[in-house]
């Protein structure tokens, strides 16, 4: 999508968890965001001042569309982000494998502040275009033996999203164990199908990881011509009552003056997860307006989709 926005939510302290991977510590709160960096690689890493300002606002960020075969760009970004930080405020990163069809490969990278993570395991799930899973006799899917689906230590889910293969990572780093963050970058032409199939994946994650607390966030292309109003009735993630959409259909997650679409979303599963979110805090953050950037500067630079705004 041309510069759709990202989003974020501020979670209340106490309880188990937050909008995604991190759990709020008692009496504390933290911010999480997701944004599409549109082909982030070495060239953009060398001039990432806008992205650095956005990342520094959040405790955890799901960065989408990282296209960096060597991995140097993310390390450069992290080094710059930590240049003026000190323990325990340093940031770390955990990325999915690079997946995709043909020569197109991208990954989702989670960048998080170390001091915000209590004990446990950080459970991440990310979706990328990949080889179609082979159906099993049960009607479920398994990864092809040649597909680069799961990092070492990851979990192998029994469900795949049609032409999507989930990349699951169980991190050895300290984090909350009761919450799952699922970041997905939907294909515009298949957005309706992919968003609907996320419902089944959330159920699979609930069964395999033993928690009802799942958050879906990212560039779902969930608006405009990609998901017309007539399509919502066929999307289970939308009408199943245990899922709560925190970014509404009338929101504008773009930074272009001529567009107004809610492409990027945050969806939480379960009342417990919903109760951890500060009401009204999940909203698009128009970084161009906040940082005084013109539309031309946004289009020409490394600026990502609008990330999340704290409450």
Which domains are assigned to the chain? Answer: 7-300 (3.60.10.10)
The helix or strand, by DSSP H or E, that contains position 210, with its residue range, turns out to be: none
Name the average pLDDT for the chain: 66
Looking at residue 165, what is its pLDDT?
34
Long-range contacts of 242-247 (CB under 8 A, 24+ apart): 242/212, 242/269, 242/270, 243/199, 243/202, 243/267, 243/268, 243/269, 244/268, 244/269, 244/273, 244/274, 246/7, 246/9, 246/277, 246/282, 247/7, 247/282, 247/283, 247/284
Looking at residue 128, what is its pLDDT?
43
pLDDT per residue as tens digits for the range 151-209: 322 333 323 333 333 334 433 333 334 667 788 888 888 899 989 988 988 887 787 76
From the candidates 65, 106, 194, 204, which is the catalytic residue?
Answer: 106
**Active-site residue flag, 106:** yes
From the candidates 65, 128, 184, 185, which is the catalytic residue?
Answer: 185
**Predicted TM-score (pTM) of this structure:** 0.73
CA–CA gap between residue 94 and residue 220 (Å, rounded)? 21
Looking at residue 181, what is its pLDDT?
78
Provide CB contacts within 8 A for 278, sequence distance 6+: 9, 10, 11, 12, 29, 311
CA–CA gap between residue 282 and residue 12 (Å, rounded)? 12
CA–CA gap between residue 96 and residue 219 (Å, rounded)? 16
Looking at residue 75, what is its pLDDT?
84
Q: What is the separation of C-alpha 37 from the centre of its chain, rounded to a whole number of angstroms?
A: 12
């Amino acid at each position: 999508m041309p510069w759709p926005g990202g989003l974020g939510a501020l979670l209340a302290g106490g309880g188990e968890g937050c909008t995604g991977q991190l759990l709020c510590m008692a009496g504390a709160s933290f911010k999480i965001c997701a944004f599409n960096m549109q082909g982030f690689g070495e060239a953009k890493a060398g001039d990432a001042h806008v992205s650095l300002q956005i990342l520094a606002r959040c405790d955890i960020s799901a960065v989408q569309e990282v296209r960096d075969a060597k991995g140097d760009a993310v390390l450069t970004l992290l080094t710059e982000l930590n240049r003026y930080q000190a323990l325990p405020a340093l940031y770390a990163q955990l990325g999915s494998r690079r997946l995709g069809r043909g020569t197109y490969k991208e990954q989702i990278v989670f960048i998080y502040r170390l001091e915000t993570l209590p004990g446990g395991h950080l459970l991440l799930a990310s979706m990328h275009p990949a080889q179609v899973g082979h159906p099993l006799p049960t009607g479920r899917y398994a990864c092809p033996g040649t597909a680069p689906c799961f990092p070492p230590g990851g979990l192998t889910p029994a469900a795949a999203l049609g032409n999507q293969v989930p990349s699951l990572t169980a991190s050895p780093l300290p984090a909350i164990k009761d919450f799952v963050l699922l970041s997905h970058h939907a294909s515009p032409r298949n957005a309706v199908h992919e968003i609907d199939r996320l419902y089944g994946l959330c159920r699979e994650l609930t069964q395999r990881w033993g928690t009802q607390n799942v958050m879906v966030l990212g560039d779902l292309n969930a608006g405009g011509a990609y998901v017309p109003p007539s399509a919502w009735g066929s999307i289970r993630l939308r009408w199943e009552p245990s899922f709560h959409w925190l970014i509404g259909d009338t929101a504008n997650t773009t930074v272009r003056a001529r567009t107004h679409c809610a492409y990027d979303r945050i969806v939480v599963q379960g009342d417990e997860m919903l109760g951890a979110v500060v009401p009204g805090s999940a909203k698009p953050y128009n970084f161009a307006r906040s940082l005084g950037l013109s539309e031309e500067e946004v289009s020409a630079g490394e600026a990502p989709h609008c990330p999340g705004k704290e409450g």
